[in-house]
Amino acid sequence: MSDVYVLGVDMIKFGRFPDRTVPNIGAEAALMALDDAGLTIKDMQAMYCGNLGQANAMVGQRILQEIGQTGIPVVNCANACATGATAFREAWMSIKAGIYDVVLAVGVEQMGKGLLGGAGGGDGIPKEGLLGSGTMPCVFAEAGMEHSKDHGTTFEQFAKISVKNHHHSTMNPKAMYQIETPLDVVMNAEMISYPNTKLMCSVNVDGSAAAVLVSEKKAKELGMGRAVRVKASALASDPYTDRDLVMPDVNACTRLAAEQAYEMAGVGPEDINLVELHDCFATAEMLHYENLGLCKDGEAGKMIDEGHVELGGKVPVNVSGGLLSKGHPLGATGIANIYEVCTHLRGEAGERQVEGAKLGMTHVIGLGTACGIHILEKV
Amino acid sequence: MSDKSLPAVSYLKIPDEGNPYLEGHKCENCGAVFLGERSVCSKCFSRDKMSAVKLQETGVLHSFSVVYRSFPGIDVPYVSAIVDLDGGGTVKGNLINIEPDPEKIDFGMKVKLTYQDALGRKDKEGNSYLSYFFEPA
pLDDT, tens digit, 9 for 90 and up, residues A132-166: 999 999 999 999 999 999 999 999 999 999 999 99
Instruction: Report the SS3 class of residue A128.
Output: coil
Q: Between chains, do B90 and A243 touch, taking CB under 8 Å as contact?
A: yes
Q: One of A166, A167, A278, A328 is an active-site residue; which one?
A: A328
pLDDT cut 70: percent of chain A above it: 99
Distance CA B113, CA B99 (A): 17
CA distance B17 to chain A (A): 23
Domain assignment of residue B87, yes or no: yes
Quote the CA–CA distance of A4 and A216 in Å, as a whole number.
Answer: 6
Per-residue confidence in pLDDT tens, chain B, 137 aa: 788 999 999 999 999 999 999 999 999 999 999 999 999 999 999 999 999 999 999 999 999 999 999 998 899 999 999 999 999 999 999 999 999 999 999 999 999 999 999 999 999 999 999 999 999 99
What are A159's strand-pairing partners? none
Q: Which of B63, B82, B98, B121 has the highest number of chain A CBs within 10 A, making it the mutation to test binding with A?
A: B63
The verdict on residue A60 lying in a domain is yes
For the ranges A77-91, A112-126, A252-266, A354-368, the lowest mean pLDDT is seen at A112-126
pLDDT, tens only, A160-177: 999 999 999 999 999 999
Residue A117, pLDDT > 80, answer: no
* Residues of chain A that touch chain B, judged by Cβ-Cβ distance less than 8 Å: 115, 118-119, 124-133, 135, 137-138, 141-143, 145-146, 148-149, 155, 190-196, 240, 242-243, 245-247
Domain tally, chain B: 1
Q: Domain span at residue B71? A: 6-136
pLDDT mean across residues, chain A: 96
According to DSSP, residue A247 is labeled S
Whole-number pLDDT of residue A30: 98
Which residues from chain A sit within 8 angstroms of residue B66, using beta carbons? 191, 193-194
Catalytic residue among A77, A81, A201, A342: A81
Q: Which residues are CB-neighbours of A236 under 8 A, at least 6 positions away?
A: A253, A254, A256, A257, A260, A370, A371
Chain A residues within an 8 Å CB radius of B67:
129, 133, 135, 138, 192-194
Question: How far is the C-alpha of B32 from the C-alpha of B34, rounded, in Å?
Answer: 7
Residues of chain B with a CB closer than 8 angstroms to some CB in chain A: 6, 8-9, 32, 34-35, 42-43, 62-71, 74-76, 78, 80-82, 84, 90-94, 102, 107-108, 118-119, 121-123, 129, 131-132
Cβ-based contacts of A247 with chain B (< 8 Å) = 62-63, 82, 90, 92
CATH number of the domain encompassing residue A368: 3.40.47.10
Chain A residue closest in CA terms to B73: A129
**Among A115, A146, A193, beta carbon nearest to B71:** A115
| Closest Cβ–Cβ partner in A126, A133, A196 for B121 | A126
Q: Pairing between strand A359-366 and A274-276?
A: parallel
Contact B32 A242 (CB under 8 A): yes
Sign of CA dihedral A284, A286, A291, A292: positive
Pair type for strands A196-197 and A191-193: antiparallel
> Among A239, A56, A138, which Cα is nearest to B82's?
A138
| pLDDT interval class at A122 (50, 70, 90) | low
**What residue of A is the nearest CA neighbor of B84?**
A243
Are B63 and A242 in contact (CB < 8 Å)? no
Q: Are A205 and A14 in contact (CB under 8 A)?
A: yes
Identify the H or E element spanning B116.
Answer: strand B110-122
Which of B34, B70, B121 should we substitute to test contact with A (largest number of A Cβ atoms within 10 Å)? B70
Domain of A243 in residue numbering reads as 4-113+203-378
A328 tagged catalytic? yes
- Given an 8 Å threshold on Cβ–Cβ distance, is B69 in contact with A243? no
Residues 6 or more apart in contact with residue A292 via CB below 8 angstroms: A254, A258, A269, A275, A277, A361, A363, A373
3-state percent breakdown (helix, strand, coil) of chain A, nearest 5: 40, 20, 40
With CA atoms as reference, report the closest residue to A83 among A63, A65, A111, A108: A108
Q: What is the pLDDT of residues A19-71, one digit of tens each?
A: 999 999 999 999 999 999 999 999 999 999 999 999 999 999 999 999 999 99
Phi, then psi, of A338 in degrees rounded to 5: -70, -40
pLDDT at A225 over 90: no
Q: How many domains does chain A have?
A: 1
Name every chain B residue with its beta carbon within 8 A of the beta carbon of A368: none
- Answer whether A125 sits within 8 Å of B118, measured CB to CB: yes
The verdict on a CB contact (< 8 Å) between B82 and A133 is no
Among A184, A3, A189, A213, which Cα is nearest to A90's? A213
| A81 annotated active-site | yes
Task: Give domain status of residue B1, yes or no.
Answer: no
